[in-house]
Structure 1
Amino acid sequence: MRRLLLPGVLLLLATAAAAQQADTLRTTSTLVLVPTRVTTTSSAGLNVTLRAEDFTLTDNGVPQKLRLEEASREPLAVIVLLQTGGAAPKQFANYAGISSLLEYALGSVRYRVSLITFDSKPEDRWPFSNDATNLRDAFQKPKPGDGGAAVLDAIDYGLDWFGDQHPRGRRLILLVSDEHFRAGDEALRQMTRRLAETNTTIYSLSFNAQRAYLIDELKHSSPENPPLFMSPDHPPLLHTFNLDRPLRQALSAMQSNAAEGVAALSGGTYMPFTNRKDLELQLTTFANDLSNRYILSFQPTNPTAGLHSLQVSLPQHPDLQATARTAYWHAAPDEKH
C-alpha cells in the first residue's frame, strides 16, 4: 500500500508545484497596455475596423507581438481638472460651455465622471457620477482661485482619486489649464512613471495666458512712452513705444509647452483654445477620439527596469495615423511603488 501511495503523492506534489509555478509566471509577467487613438485625413472618415496585426509597436526600438484587448466592462472613468487660479478667471466665460459639450462627448460611452478644481493646490472635488449634468453649476459658476496653478500637483491628486474610487478599467484626465506651467525634468519623469503605471491618458484643453496678454498689449496704446528728451537743443521724441514687456511675454510663450508634453507622454491629445468656438471644436474632436480608441497590449521581450520608449504605427494604412503614449515605466522587482 505504501509503495502504491508514494508515486501518487509525488505526482500530486509535482502537479501542485507545476500549477503554482504557472500561477507565478502569470502574476509576475509584465503586461503593458497602450491605449491608441486612430485618426484619418480622408474626407470619407474612419470606416475601417483594425486588427492587432495592422499595428506595429516597438519597445526601445524592438518590435513586439501585440494583442488587441476587448473594451473593458468597467465604465470609462473621467476626471476633469479645472484650473481656477492664475490667469484662469479670464477664461470663465468659456468654461461655461464645457458642461454641455462634455455631456455630448461622453454620450457614446459608459462613463463615470468627477471634477477637481485647483489653483496653487487642489481645491474642490466632486464625487464620481454617471451623469455629467451634475457638474453644470461647477462649470458655469467657478470660484476664482489664488494666483497659482499647480498643474502637476493636481494631476497627482487626480491619480490618487482614481485609485480610491476607480481602481480598475480605463482612466482619462481632461486637463483644462494654461498651456505653460513650470515642470522640471525630474517632476515630468515621475509624472511619466505614474501615468504609465496607472494606464491614464491625459487630454490637455489649454489656453495661452501669455498669448492673450501679448495681443492685448499690442492692441492698445498702453505701451506708449512719455516724451523722450534726447538733448536740451532738440525737441522731445513723441509716440515711442516700450515693447520690452510684450517681447518678454512673447519669448516666454515660445518656451516648451508643458501641457502638450504631458498629453503626448500619456498618449492623449493637446487641444488649444482661445475662444468659445475653438473650445467647441476641440471637445468635438475629443468626442470622436473616444469612439476611435484601441487598447493594445504586449509582454516586453526585454523587460529591463526603467523608462521605455514606445512607437506605434499603422504601416499598412498610410491614410491612418496612430497616436499612443510615447513611454512607459517598468519597475524593478524590488522597487517600491
Structure 2
Amino acid sequence: MHSPPPFLPLLGRLGLLTGVMFLLASAQPQKFDVQSRLVQVPVLVTDAKGNTLDGLDTADFQLLDNGQPQKLIVDSLGSGLAPISLVIAVQTSGISAPVLEKVRKIGAMIQPLIIGERGCAAVVTFSEKVDWLQECTNSNDAIDAALSRLKPAEPRAGRMLDAVSEAVGRLNTRPNSRHVLLLISESKDRGSETSLEAVARMCESSAVSVYAFTYSAFVTGFTTKSNPITRLPIGMRRSTLGRHEPASPPTLDRQPRSTPPEQRVDVLAAGEELARLDKSNTAQVLTTLTGGTIMPFTRQAALEEVVQKLGSELQTQYVLSFTPEDRTPGYHRIELKLKREGDFLLRARPGYWAGAAQ
C-alpha cells in the first residue's frame, strides 16, 4: 500500500482549523457596517442692525429634525471651525467679458479673506463647456493666477448647473471641511444638461453652501474703464435697448422685523420650496435651499466689497452638528430656534436628504 503524500495531513489540519475559525466567527454577534451620518448646518446669526452675534453656544440653540429635537454640537470661530473647501465657479460667456475684467483683479483676496490659512480654493469656468483652471489649493499665487487667466468664450452659453454638479463632486472628495460653492455669474442657467432638481438635491445631500455674486451683463458692461468700443462682449450688438436682463435680485435672507421671541428658520420641504421658487432664477433656488445668499454687484468696488462680506460671514458663522435620531430615507426638514429674547435674524439651510437619497 502506498503511503499518503506528506502534505495531505497538513491539508487536513488546515481544513480543520478553517472549520473551527468559521464556527467561532458564527458564534460572535454580527456587526453591520452602519455609520451614522453627521449632519452639519452652518448658521449666520445677526441682530436687527445686521451685526453678527458672538458668544453663542450649544445651550442657545434648538434644532428640530422633522419636528424632533436633536442633540447638538456647536462650533464657532472661538471653539475652532473646520477649514473651508471652496470652489469658485465663474461664468465666462462672451456677454460676461466686462465682468471678467473685474473678477481677474480679486484673486489675491481669496486666500486671506475667505479660505484663510487652513482652507483651499479651486477655480472652474463655465460657458458652452465646464473647464477646470485650478484644483483646490491654499496658494494665494495659484488662485490669483487662475483667475487672471479668465477669458470670454461662446457669447451666450452658461452651463451653470453642469458646473455646480461637477463642483459638488470635487467637494465631496474633501472630507472634514466646510463645503462652499461661490458662483460669479448671471442669475440663470444657459443650456445645462443637468436638471435644477438634481443639482439642488446634490447640494443638499453634500452639505454644500452656495453663495452667488450675481450681475446683469448689460449693466455691468457700462462700468468698465476700458474703451466700450473695443470691450463689447463677443456677439453683442450696440443696439441692446429694451433687451437687457433685469438687475440681479436682492438677497433672500431678509425677514420681517417683527420676529417672535423664538427666532427660527423654517422653510417648506424641498419639493414644495422648489415649486414655490422662480426656477428661472437658478442662483436664487440654489442659495435659498443651501443656506447661502445672493450678493449682487455692478462695479469693481462692489465686487471687492462682497468678497469681504462673504469672508466675514464664513468666519463668524456657527456650525451646528448632529446625528439624526430618525434615519428615515428622504428629505428631512430643519427648524432652528434661538433661545434668546431679542430681534435676531438666522439664516441656515432648510433641510437635507438622508438615507437612500445620499
TM range (shorter): 0.7 to 0.9
- Evaluate the alpha carbon distance shift between residue 209 and residue 32 of structure 1 in structure 2; reply closer, same or farther with a 3 A threshold: same
Q: How many angstroms does 1:207 deviate by?
A: 1.0
Aligned residue in 2 for 1:163 = 172
**Equivalent pair of 2:216/2:248 in contact (CA under 8 Å):** no
Give the letter aligned to residue 35 of structure 1.
P
Residue among 328, 334, 351 paired with 1:327: 351
1:160 aligned counterpart, secondary structure? helix
Structure 2 distance, partners of 1:253, 1:265, is 16
Cα separation, 2, equivalents of 1:56 and 1:247: 48
Cα deviation, 1:168-205, whole Å, max 9, x if unaligned, reads: 42211111111122599x92332232112222211111
Name which of 155, 158, 163 aligns with 1:149.
158
Closer/same/farther in 2, CA of residues 103 and 321 from structure 1, 3 Å limit? same
- CA 1:268/1:109 → structure 2, altered by over 3 Å: closer, same or farther? farther
* TM-score, scaled to structure 1: 0.72
Gaps of 5+ in 2: 1-23, 224-238, 251-277
Distance 1:41 1:73, change over 3 A: closer
> Which of these residues, 189, 199, 205, is aligned with residue 181 of structure 1?
189
- What is the match of residue 321 of structure 2? 297
Distance in 2 (CA, whole Å) between partners of 1:213 and 1:97 is 16
Q: 1:249 to 1:110 in 2, by over 3 A?
A: closer
1:315 to 1:214, Cα distance in 2 relative to 1, 3 A:
farther
Structure (1/2) with the larger helix percentage: 1
Tell me the percent identity: 26
Q: Look up the match of 1:51.
A: 57
Question: What's the offset of the Cα at 1:285?
Answer: 0.9
Once residues 116 and 272 of structure 1 are traced to their aligned partners in structure 2, the CA distance between those partners, rounded to angstroms, is 20
Paired residues of 1:113 and 1:132 also in contact (CA < 8 A): no
CA distance 1:251–1:122, change in 2 (3 Å): closer
2:94/2:154 contact within 8 Å kept: yes
Give the drift of 1:316. Answer: 0.9
SS of residue matched to 1:92? helix
Is 1:35 paired with 2:16?
no
Gap change, CA 1:15 and 1:286, over 3 Å in 2: farther
SS of the residue 1:57 aligns to: strand
TM-score, normalised by the number of residues in structure 2 = 0.68
**Please, what is the CA RMSD of the aligned residues?**
3.6
2:54 partner letter: V
User: Is the CA contact (8 Å cut-off) linking 2:215 and 2:296 kept in structure 1?
Assistant: yes
Q: What is the one-letter code of the residue matched to 1:49?
A: G
Structure 1 segment 237-316 matched on structure 2, within 5 A: 246=242, 249-250=245-246, 256-316=280-340
SS at match of 1:311: strand
* Aligned counterpart, 1:95: 103
- 1:7-30 per-position Cα deviation (integer Å, ceiling 9, x unaligned): xxxxx999953xx65x75xx3434
Aligned residue identity for 2:162: D
Tell me the SS of whatever aligns to 2:137: coil
Distance 1:140 1:258 in 2: 26
Q: Is the 8 A contact 2:219 2:298 kept in 1?
A: no
SS in structure 1 at match of 2:136: coil
Distance in 1, matches of 2:330 and 2:81, equals 31
Cα distance, 1:68 vs structure 2: 2.0
Contact 1:179 1:258 in 2 (8 A): yes
| Deviation at residue 139 of structure 1 after TM alignment | 2.4
